[in-house]
Structure 1
């Protein structure tokens, strides 16, 4: 049965106040700033991250600003059964998830022929399958409300240009495909699904490159905008897609990359 959707509002403001956001990888390089941005805007953020140092730093940053409504859980995303149980408990605790952001990812780097199949499957399990579990747990609440936002974090690497990242690129391509499939299937319930594809941002992921200065030059050569991206660039895009203002946008991939990819 199709859920009754809220009436369309003209001139809708970009706001996530009162929304409950489930965010994987929320304490990382791009996740932390976005998490704080959502908290500042009045949302509740359920932050899943398995790095205790980053989790502590995120909580400290929120406390310094007096930001409430942050729930941090250290979760092993590779254990899908335990993840589902944890999410079901959290969903009951916070009253359901209105927004899901599938951001967490691992990114091993080596030639394709050197990967064991089990290594590739682990990347898929953390980068994609965990996101599927998040959506499965969140979906009943979204359908009941007739409103929801799902955002998959993809990557500029899906457009080529990087060697030795086959499992990672495969996983990001899967998230783009799922965004389109879910958008088609969930649209009748007032749920939008999109992907955000960040460019080459200066995060921990760049530590795999042996020549940081040369890599920065490589990035700027490919971008139309000649500065490195910042976490706030991603935070602003996610804020928009998570709001009512983006209610007529679904099944899309938004490139936030300084003009690296244009389509």
Structure 2
């Protein structure tokens, strides 16, 4: 399932789940265009990546809410790298408050980063994938889309949009040799959990819902991404893979 020699665009690559997966891809020999808005996290990623594997890290600080600027940055990088073989749309923001406290501008801001920036990424990457007759697009969804979480309505709506785009793109891009899937992480112990006021209680809640009685770790996500990005997953498209310890079952 090696993804060596592939060029991967990974948004949110320096975050809690992004960093370990990026290092995994570098060990496999891939070139990773690692996009993040946080300069300090990108620097930490670069330090962690030093001397790891045969891959190449290309860090790129970008404001994904600036869609025009993001498109220009990506287009320049894609041209310099000879195209993008894999797109992983992972970057997201997740404000938490009751529905009635969100303004329409709040909803639009979440949609812009979580969905619209992913659309821009695919628009930049698709011509190379189509010309090559091979490509992988992976949208990072969330098990929150299946219900059971209050105070996250713009985030949940954005993840639903990504699932819808996954299916629409899979139908349209399959003729080009491009697969499109979604990966839906469960509750992983990252900075995102800091929105919960009772960490120990939240961990009990998570384990009560999972059939696998341990917390997930970043390697669980890295392994699933590596599979979906590989030739081994060439006959899988339009699907949502829940990596959640057996929380959601369909």
User: Structure 1 length as normaliser, TM-score?
Assistant: 0.94
Q: 1:194 aligns with which of 175, 178, 181?
A: 181
Q: What is the aligned residue count?
A: 250
Point out 4+ residue stretches in structure 1 off by more than 6 angstroms.
none
**1:62 and 1:68 in contact (8 A); partners too:** no
1:41 aligned onto 2:22 = no
Report the counterpart of residue 133 of structure 2 in structure 1.
146
Kindly indicate whether residue 120 of structure 2 is the aligned counterpart of residue 133 of structure 1: yes
Q: Which residue of 2 aligns with 1:74?
A: 61
Q: Secondary structure at the match of 1:151?
A: strand
Cα distance in 2, alignment partners of residues 213 and 84 from structure 1:
41
Q: Structure 2: any 5+ residue segments left out of the alignment?
A: none
Paired residues for 1:45-60 under 5 Å: 45-60=32-47
Match for residue 207 of structure 2?
A: 220
What is the deviation of 1:64?
4.7
Question: What is the Cα deviation at residue 65 of structure 1?
Answer: 3.0
Match of 2:15 in 1: 28
CA distance in 1, matches of 2:162, 2:89: 9
Relative contact order (alpha carbons < 8 A, sep ≥ 6): 1 or 2 greater?
Answer: 1
Q: Does 1:170 align with 2:173?
A: no
| 1:219-262 alpha-carbon deviations (Å, 9 max, x no partner) | 00000000000000000000000000000000000000000001
C-alpha distance in structure 1 between counterparts of 2:178 and 2:56, whole Å:
23
Instruction: Report how far residue 67 of structure 1 moved.
Output: 5.4
Report the Cα offset of residue 68 of structure 1.
Answer: 4.4
Are residue 94 (structure 1) and residue 65 (structure 2) matched?
no
Write out per-residue CA displacement over residues 154-201 of structure 1, whole angstroms, 9 at most, x where no aligned residue: 001001111000000000000000000000000000000000000000
Query: Residues 112-134 of structure 1: CA distance to partner in whole angstroms, max 9, x if unpaired?
Result: 01001101100000000000000
Across the aligned residues of Structure 1 and Structure 2, the Cα RMSD in angstroms comes to: 0.8
User: C-alpha separation between the residues in 2 aligned to 1:82 and 1:67?
Assistant: 31
Structure 2 partner of 1:113: 100
- 1:88-121 CA-to-partner distances (Å, cap 9, x unmatched) read 1001110000000000000000000100110110
